[in-house]
Amino acid sequence: MLIFKIFRPSEWQSLHVQGDTDGAPIDIADGYIHFSTAFQVVETAEKHFKDAGDLLLLALDGDTLGDDLRWEPSRGGQLFPHLYRKLRLADVLWARAYPQTPDGHLLPEGVK
């Protein structure tokens, strides 16, 4: 199953250069890397990145992350994927532009 990580351009650049990351500031504070499903990603962008400008959306195959990926309740009791290790560049299937428009962020083609 595909899961998604929203990154600011600087966070993506850091992952790309270093090869791994502890995530965004919220991930570091919480002790795990937050992900969303295709059904959750729009709400996540609206809640946490409303005025952040253009972003990147990273896709990962959650099935390849093993026991380090845990599904835990969060907003409204929904289960969200959380990664309890560094995110590695090799984990990322693709990264696509997630631009901000006047109506909110525009999901890349094929994500829904």
Tell me which residue of 35, 34, 27 sits closest to 4, measured CA to CA. Answer: 35
Angle value at C-alpha 101, between 95 and 104, nearest 5 degrees: 85
pLDDT grade, residue 110 (50/70/90)? confident
Residue 112 has pLDDT above 80, yes or no: no
| pLDDT tens readout for residues 53-92 | 999 999 999 999 999 999 999 878 899 999 999 999 999 9
What pLDDT does residue 36 have?
A: 97
Selected residue with higher pLDDT from 109 and 90: 90
> For position 53, what pLDDT does the model report?
96
Second-level CATH architecture of 2-103: Alpha-Beta Barrel (3.20)
* pTM for this prediction: 0.95
The span from the CA of 38 to the CA of 32, in Å, is: 19
Q: Domains of the chain: which residue ranges?
A: 2-103
User: To the nearest whole number, what is the mean pLDDT of the chain?
Assistant: 96
